[in-house]
Structure 1
Amino acid sequence: MTGGDFGLTVRQALRERKISMRAAARMLSYDHAFLSRVLSGKQLPSPQLVQALDNLLGAEGTLVELAAPLSDPDVVDRVERVVAQPSRLDARTVGALADVLAAQRRLDDAVGPTAVLPATQAQASTVRSLLRSSGGPHRGALADVVAEWVQFEGWLHASARSDARALILLDEAVELADEAESGTLVAQALNFRGYVARQREQPRAVTRWFSAAYHTPGAHPAQRMGDATQAAHGYAELGHTDEARRMLDEAANLADAAADQPPGTAYWLTPTFQRLSLGLAHLGLGEHADAAEHLRAGLSGLPADQQRAEWTGEYRDALEVAEAA
């Protein structure tokens, strides 16, 4: 994360909310010229300004988390040196890159994909290049980070309904995750393929991709439970009721193991979140009361930074349908 990346993300988020730079400066009681320098990457933001911007954008602390590396010049310099000279790759640099990616993912929940996408694309391009040029004992750890970064870029395109680009990136993410020998990342990329299919209202593809994710060796139980439930939704939409109920039974059998801490690459897969997928499956089966109960519990139990996430719209719409029925 550079000052330019931070500024680009904030400018996009302000644009999404139809807040001009001048208006933001006025609302924050900062000089317009100073704010302009910060958001153009010419000057690093102070912690006070980052907090003020976080409050203005309703980012629930995720913007503060994203900017944290900027407060440590050693981290910034280290990453810049390694990008310029990949042979200097070390564990601290890989860790710093992973921290930036984790912050970007949480920021997406708070401010939406359109604001996060430009900086993510630029960063993904940089880490791809770094992976191609690097070697040594830390390349394997970097491969994990790059696979997740490309997967996240694919997710952002899927969220913004740029489906064609999303599918290309998710296929690339699967290949990178295979290279990194990460079952969790392979399963998550396949899961996102299923998400795209669901947005396209393609139930056969829904069952295909979520079933593939479910059967991926090395997938976490929380991932497998969610994949089984979403495959059940696809079967229900196809009218294959017995298959849908079988997959729901398999999901239920995973519930205890899935209650463990999910992998960081799928941090949202809490027991409460799983109820959202259960709600969709029961809705597909025409079990409207059960669907509404699961969807209400899932939505109300989301963390603060996810409450207004764009991806929750699908579940809010499903809740309306379940309640109306």
Structure 2
Amino acid sequence: MAEFGCRVRALLAERGTSMRRTARALGYDPAYLARVINGKQQPSEQLVGALDDHLRADGELMSLWASGRRPPVHTAEQATSADGDIAHLRASVAHLLEHDNRYGGAAVAPAAVQAWRAAQRKLDCGAVPDRARAGYLSAVAELAEIAGWLLFDAGEEEASRRAFLESHLLARHAGDRPMEWFALDMLAMQDVHSGRPGEALRIADELLSRPRIPPRVTLLARVRRGRALAQAGDRRRALDELAGARVGLGDSIDPRDPVWAWWVNDNEITGHEGEVLLALGEDKAAVPKLQRALELSSAHFPDGRGSLYYSVALLSAYASARAWRECEATLISIGSLSETVESERSRRRLRSTLRAMSRRPDAPGWLREYVRDV
């Protein structure tokens, strides 16, 4: 693959770009791209295709890769092993999600990334038989998506975005459209969290423009639109989108809905309704929504990640609504939750809320003192 690496370096120079900038633009680890260019690791087909498009090589890189690649000889035993690997990857996803719901993303993200990278390396070195390749690609795409979600909850936003982009690319190569939709939804979610409503709207609109999108995917796209519109200050359209999502939730699960949409429920929509009202400055209206979301979340995992997330969101609403006694009670409950749940996303929001509360002249002195102690 030396010729391939030399040509990539030449194209990088011709285009006036660096290897690191290219890796980031494509959503790949720069260290991985460096190993590929230096001939120390076989590139995946999806990386070669992405490089070909990005560097405008008109298929030259794909041809070099194909000519320099030795087709692996796979045995029946290897095919059976690949099937076992796929089953293991699927089981890993379920285990990671169970742990995340109880203890938060920061506690689980390193294990998820390790599992994803190990599975990705097997793809990159051509060790997966052709017969099992599509299924393996799909399983790794799901694992990358889960790693992205856990990294997001752990506060590792740049690494999370790379994982979501990789998941989308893997799903596309696998022909797994439901997983493609999932990765896009996660990117829109991250955009809302990071204050990029324009990009969130573009992703949601792209999803809604696709033919025969399942109802639950449509519902999520409307939620992302509603959150983005609220950030942009468009009250009427934001509330309309959430109302449409609420109506869609009342419909039964459609056979076309992807299996990953199991978490799209009353708890999810209620929480987003509260967040939209909070973003619009309607704090008192947000409080009962977030109270209900906390109640629903606590019914499944009383001391889990969801309970911490909605407790912190509710604290923000109470503080904005000047409900000082409720702030104190919520802070006490958050203290016990934070001993078991490691969610950097919620901790950052909590720190921001506490700083704002400590600076409010209308907050009682006893509360400001308690906040400083916390």
Q: Does the 8 A contact of 1:154 with 1:169 survive in 2? A: yes
- Structure-to-structure mapping, 1:135-154, within 5 angstroms: 135-154=129-148
Task: Determine the C-alpha separation between the residues in 1 that align with 2:234 and 2:184.
Answer: 22
Q: Which residue of 2 aligns with 1:198?
A: 192
Q: Which residue of 1 aligns with 2:218?
A: 224
Q: Which residue of 2 aligns with 1:284?
A: 279
Q: Does the 8 A contact of 1:235 with 1:241 survive in 2? A: yes
Q: Does the 8 A contact of 2:144 with 2:164 survive in 1? A: yes
Task: Determine the C-alpha separation between the residues in 1 that align with 2:212 and 2:78.
Answer: 30
Give yes or no for the alignment of 1:272 onto 2:264.
no
Aligned-partner residue type, residue 197 of structure 1: D
The DSSP-based 3-state class of the residue aligned with 1:137 is helix
Q: 1:182 to 1:281 in 2, by over 3 A?
A: farther
Q: 1:236 to 1:114 in 2, by over 3 A?
A: closer
Q: Larger radius of gyration, structure 1 or 2? A: 2
Q: Which residue of 1 aligns with 2:338?
A: none
Q: Percent identity?
A: 21
TM superposition shift of 1:173: 0.9
TM superposition shift of 1:93: 4.0
The DSSP-based 3-state class of the residue aligned with 2:131 is coil
Task: Determine the C-alpha separation between the residues in 2 that align with 1:277 and 1:126.
Answer: 35
Q: Which residue of 2 aligns with 1:182?
A: 176
Find 2:296's aligned residue among 283, 292, 301: 301
Q: 1:317 to 1:245 in 2, by over 3 A?
A: same
Find 1:103's aligned residue among 95, 108, 131: 95
What is the number of equivalent residue pairs in this alignment? Answer: 242
Query: What is the alpha-carbon root mean square deviation over aligned residues?
Result: 3.0
Task: Determine the C-alpha separation between the residues in 2 that align with 1:155 and 1:267.
Answer: 16
Q: 1:248 to 1:274 in 2, by over 3 A?
A: closer
Task: Determine the C-alpha separation between the residues in 2 that align with 1:230 and 1:115.
Answer: 27
Task: Determine the C-alpha separation between the residues in 2 that align with 1:214 and 1:317.
Answer: 31
Task: Determine the C-alpha separation between the residues in 2 that align with 1:112 and 1:143.
Answer: 27
Q: Does the 8 A contact of 1:235 with 1:244 survive in 2? A: yes
Q: 1:177 to 1:256 in 2, by over 3 A?
A: same
For residues 203-251 of structure 1, the C-alpha deviation after alignment (integer angstroms, 9 at most, x for no partner) is 3333334444455556543333233123212101211223323423432
Q: 1:236 to 1:302 in 2, by over 3 A?
A: same
TM superposition shift of 1:276: 1.0
Q: 1:299 to 1:224 in 2, by over 3 A?
A: farther
For residues 281-315 of structure 1, the C-alpha deviation after alignment (integer angstroms, 9 at most, x for no partner) is 23333444442222222221126664444465453
Q: Which residue of 1 aligns with 2:106?
A: 114
Give yes or no for the alignment of 1:208 onto 2:215.
no
The DSSP-based 3-state class of the residue aligned with 1:133 is coil
Task: Determine the C-alpha separation between the residues in 2 that align with 1:315 and 1:213.
Answer: 27
Task: Determine the C-alpha separation between the residues in 2 that align with 1:300 and 1:313.
Answer: 11
Q: Does the 8 A contact of 1:183 with 1:218 survive in 2? A: no
The DSSP-based 3-state class of the residue aligned with 2:166 is helix
The DSSP-based 3-state class of the residue aligned with 2:297 is coil
Unmatched segments (≥5 aa) in structure 1? 1-81
TM-score of the two chains, using structure 1 as the length reference: 0.64
TM superposition shift of 1:183: 2.9
Find 2:162's aligned residue among 168, 171, 174: 168
Give yes or no for the alignment of 1:127 onto 2:122.
no
- Structure-to-structure mapping, 1:7-86, within 5 angstroms: 86=78
Task: Determine the C-alpha separation between the residues in 1 that align with 2:78 and 2:296.
Answer: 43
Single out whichever of 261-270 and 291-300 deviates more from structure 2: 261-270
Aligned-partner residue type, residue 245 of structure 2: A
Single out whichever of 89-98 and 253-262 deviates more from structure 2: 253-262
Aligned-partner residue type, residue 296 of structure 2: G
Task: Determine the C-alpha separation between the residues in 2 that align with 1:151 and 1:110.
Answer: 19
TM superposition shift of 1:148: 0.6
Q: Does the 8 A contact of 2:149 with 2:186 survive in 1? A: yes
Task: Determine the C-alpha separation between the residues in 2 that align with 1:246 and 1:183.
Answer: 28
Find 2:86's aligned residue among 82, 94, 98: 94
Aligned-partner residue type, residue 274 of structure 2: G
Single out whichever of 260-269 and 97-106 deviates more from structure 2: 260-269
Q: Does the 8 A contact of 2:274 with 2:286 survive in 1? A: yes
Q: 1:109 to 1:280 in 2, by over 3 A?
A: same
Task: Determine the C-alpha separation between the residues in 2 that align with 1:266 and 1:216.
Answer: 18
Task: Determine the C-alpha separation between the residues in 2 that align with 1:307 and 1:205.
Answer: 34
Task: Determine the C-alpha separation between the residues in 2 that align with 1:124 and 1:136.
Answer: 20
Task: Determine the C-alpha separation between the residues in 1 that align with 2:301 and 2:216.
Answer: 18
Aligned-partner residue type, residue 216 of structure 2: A
